[in-house]
Amino acid sequence: NSKVIQTPRYLVKGQGQKAKMRCIPEKGHPVVFWYQQNKNNEFKFLINFQNQEVLQQIDMTEKRFSAECPSNSPCSLEIQSSEAGDSALYLCASSQGERLFFGHGTKLSVL
């Protein structure tokens, strides 16, 4: 069973609505990643954090997505104004070394 906990498992939003998902990384893992897996199973890296600080993020994440990993609280990824193309599985992963451990994901459907 995955020790990276993601909520909710499913999220349904209308276009233009905010969509927020959360992730509790595995205990002791300082690095957290967010990936988007589309219906073609393609992975897109969105953002990663190390101890609450952003390491890398892509342009899309800077503009419409906001993410944070506060200490002592779940990490979160929020889409400010959902678009149909945002429908995907959002996977959170954490790592202590090089290996990533994934959560079950949040499946977002934007109607």
Catalog residues that contact another protein under the rule CB under 8 A. Answer: 2, 30-31, 33, 35, 40-43, 45, 48, 50, 55-56, 91, 95, 98-105
CB of 90 vs another protein, minimal distance in Å: 11
d(CA 31, CA 96): 7
Q: How far is the CB of 87 from another protein (least distance, A)?
A: 16
Nearer to another protein, 3 or 18 (CB): 3
Hey, which bits of the chain come out as E strands? 5-7, 10-13, 19-24, 31-37, 43-50, 53-57, 65-68, 75-79, 88-95, 100-102, 106-110
| Nearer to another protein (CB atom), residue 41 or residue 72 | 41
Contact 36, 43 (CB under 8 A): yes
Smallest gap from Cβ 2 to another protein, in A, equals: 6
Q: Are 103 and 5 in contact (CB under 8 A)?
A: yes
In the complex, minimum distance from the CB of residue 21 to another protein, in angstroms, rounded to a whole number: 14
Is 70 in a helix, a strand, or coil?
coil
Which residue, 14 or 53, is less far from another protein as judged by CB? 53
User: In this complex, which beta carbon is closest to another protein, that of residue 33 or of residue 65?
Assistant: 33
